[in-house]
Structure 1
């Protein structure tokens, strides 16, 4: 069991703050299996049942395997690289962003959007379980009663994540056992009381034009985000975990995720013929409807447990991002727990005003921004630093005294890349190209701008307390190790 055990000689305050805006010390590291146990909460989210069903509606079987393979391979590579950087540095993605092309105030911008992303994920996931409870107990979903259910469940989630990674690891380890038992019960009921529709029934009679591009767009939106989320927890891995540790963490998270995705169309196509009222296709992809229909009150409990497991992660990651934003922009440092409460309160407010109806548009925009942001960071490390040698590769500086407030190379690239994506959303070209073009344009432009400025914006002064093997090339124009 030591593989699943985190650090023991730690303080209560460390568990609460969880090094949200500081470097993680060596003694506060976790083994890879313990990190995978936490990431399983994300792997089994109800979102992925719905994602799998919707993907099958777009391209059917076996064509859905192509975008899923792209998702799996791309996410593994991106997550492996990001976890390797995060664990080596012991920093959150937001802290690393400071020194990787954005500057310390520039990272506050990306952190804020990233944090708001988690507010909307918290809203979406919480809506599913509220929907399940409302349907089963015949309560008005979009009335005051629904808001009270959403708020009460959110308070319980706050308790589970109050003590950070330590509490998350315990909760997720035991939660996966309950999840597996209830999923097993649901599959048993499905196979014994319904005419099961296997993959041969997921085949579409014909493939609509551009449907494969739409499927790849759906996969692309999740590919980068999953690697990004994994890195927020992968930062707790031992410093020498390297690419191997990152690879194992991603495989441990993605394999159960893809099982969940493939179960989605299994339920959808099996139940669709039995649904007589409403939009059968939409309801068959709605986890809040499907599981209570198959196993009754146990289905409500299944949705409840599953959504708790992923939404505590949304609360946690959102609090990390907002901590970084406000500590930089306003030097306001009330602590990670404060920002967890803010994520919860915003979720309740947005739910009561039915903001969820705009969720798709918001996630499309932030998905474009997130993809572009992370590709810029990867281009910065692997091209600008490793290939062009315009910055050190043996450390990433995150401290304010050594960094520019704004690094124009990353910010201009991000703005330009996102603008290209938004033009697609506005209909100036097919929207399914948007996320691909934005992340490629942003990364390429960052390389061009960093090369043109010859690394000038990496440091205001080179950090005197950092050891480095980096020898700047003759064309470098920034602050060098020798002053």
Structure 2
């Protein structure tokens, strides 16, 4: 390697901008679609963790908990929430570790974990769908708050809750980190204090909560109802992808920070579900309280803004209660929807860039994602929330469990899948049947079960069908194919090692001859025709394949 090929980055961690196109300038803001380099990852483990957990401030959990409790009763809802939490922890841990250790978002992880370079496009669509569904849900909750507190018509509230998010997401991770850190303390106080007051001053509400039988009125534990409740909750399984959008900026893991690093990864990765499950239980608790104590309470019990308004009114004058309820709703909606909008724009952009080999800019798809969410809000998605989430859960489960299965079983247990991640074009096959086929089969069969295609008796079991198939099929197909479709090449043409002595991605800086920028070793590969280096985004946008290394001979 010559001296001219290694150039230091600036002290700020952002490479100096030379003659560079719009795609490169934008992706350098927060390394959109790229490996997140060490020079940019200047945040501490605690800042990354707090920022990631700030994204789970959404009030949708309260609505979900209320809806499943009203439908299936407290006992079945609680068991469903517990099942949901166990699945999230088991599947989320390998993904969170992989993201934090190798500094990749979930799409880049998915490419090398059984799906292939183009095969993971379909999972990006699944994730993008998650972001606009939950953006719409949170926006609907905010609109309800604006209508209640300020008299803003719902249709206008939907528009306002969408438009205010756009400018906050333009500047990516730098702004989002500050926003999440600054607003979290106030959010915690506004959410926890009224619930604690209600439990202390109305202890009888606890008995009412556990005795609530839901609309069915049977009051007993029912496996089908538990699974239906868990299925609705499991629509949140793709939340791990949003957590990873923050976790990819974790600092390198070293012997000195090992304990802090692991704590941050566990809490901000799969640990998000502990907070989410608590919010779902609280949402159900508040719904039962409203049904029992408010005239016509059943009509508003599943609306978080009404839940907190009724609770605040037990503590303070009505005008102040209304003000705080609206403030809580607005803060919660902004905290989560900046993440939904940011992650959704990344997912759409990534898919478009790979399929068309052009980069239109993340802001274009930020607008697309917000527009779709606004349409859902105007369609009043609250009226069919359980059906939307139950259906979506099957797709989300299939994707996340397949990737978790490939990492945990195929990479670390069987050693068939390459342990070191790969995401660059030319290094991967277009489609790998290990993950791609597994996900399609798991999602397709579980959706068929969900809609009663294999009989109404087993319809509630669709989440278990998705989990089972997504867990078992990847190792089966990997063994059957002998892992031959993971890597198109094992050598990227660069002699320097990919990892440092601690197993972290190397900080060595190389120069991309296409966009004239410097990037760290994991983002680079050798160029086929120019005897130089090329970065991952320039490989993605290479329309004629001029820079892409040829495939190595297939293994026997």
Normalising by structure 1, we get a TM-score of 0.85
Quick one: distance in 2 between partners of 1:200 and 1:232? 40
Shift of 1:366: 2.8
Of 3, 8, 12, the residue aligned with 1:9 is: 12
Q: Is residue 398 of structure 2 the alignment partner of residue 379 of structure 1?
A: no
- Count, aligned residues: 460
For the pair shown, the structure with the greater C-alpha radius of gyration is 2
Trace 1:5-404 onto structure 2 (pairs within 5 A).
9-11=12-14, 17-29=29-41, 30-57=43-70, 60=73, 64-141=77-154, 146=155, 148-183=156-191, 186-187=194-195, 190=198, 197-199=205-207, 201-204=209-212, 206-207=219-220, 209=222, 210-222=224-236, 224-240=237-253, 244-250=263-269, 253-277=272-296, 280-293=297-310, 294=313, 295-354=321-380, 357=383, 360-393=386-419, 395-404=420-429
Structure 2 match to 1:410: 435
Q: What SS class does the counterpart of residue 291 from structure 1 fall into?
A: helix
Q: Is the 8 A contact 1:291 1:299 kept in 2?
A: yes
For residues 84-139 of structure 1, what are the alpha-carbon distances to aligned partners after superposition, in whole Å with 9 as ceiling and x for unaligned?
10122211111111111111111111102211221111111101111222234445
1:424 alignment partner in structure 2: 449
8 A contact 2:208–2:288 mirrored in 1:
no
Contact 2:143 2:157 in 1 (8 A): yes
Secondary structure class of the residue paired with 2:55: helix
- Assess if the C-alpha contact under 8 Å between 2:199 and 2:205 holds in 1: no
- SS across alignment from 1:43: coil
Is 2:479 the counterpart of 1:451?
yes
Question: Once the 2 structures are TM-superposed, how far is the Cα of residue 245 of structure 1 from its aligned partner?
Answer: 4.1
Q: Deviation at 1:48?
A: 1.4
Q: Could you tell me how far apart the structure 2 residues matched to 1:9 and 1:289 are?
A: 46
SS in structure 1 opposite 2:120? Answer: helix
CA contact (8 A) 1:316 1:340 kept: yes
Q: Which runs of 5+ in 1 are unaligned?
A: 1-6, 470-477
When residues 185 and 151 of structure 1 are mapped into structure 2, their CA distance, relative to the original with a 3 A threshold, is same
Q: Offset at 1:406?
A: 1.7
1:421 CA displacement: 0.6
Shift of 1:442: 2.9
Q: Are the structure 2 counterparts of residues 254 and 410 from structure 1 closer, same or farther at C-alpha, using a change threshold of 3 Å? A: closer
Q: Is the 8 A contact 1:102 1:409 kept in 2?
A: yes
Pairwise CA RMSD: 3.2
TM-score, normalised relative to structure 2: 0.74
The 2-side partners of 1:77 and 1:91 are apart by 20
Per-residue deviation at 1:356? 6.0
- Provide, for residues 445-481 of structure 1, a one-character-per-residue CA deviation record: whole Å limited to 9, x for no partner: 2222221111111122223347589xxxxxxxx9699
Question: Matched residues in 1 for 2:333 and 2:433: separation?
Answer: 40
CA contact (8 A) 1:105 1:405 kept: yes
* Contact 1:41–1:306 (8 Å) recurs in 2: no
CA contact (8 A) 1:15 1:165 kept: no
Q: Deviations over 1:38-78 (max 9, x none)?
A: 23333332111223333444565566544433333432333
Q: Secondary structure at the match of 2:119?
A: helix
Contact 2:96 2:247 in 1 (8 A): yes
Q: Which residue pairs with 1:4 in the alignment?
A: none
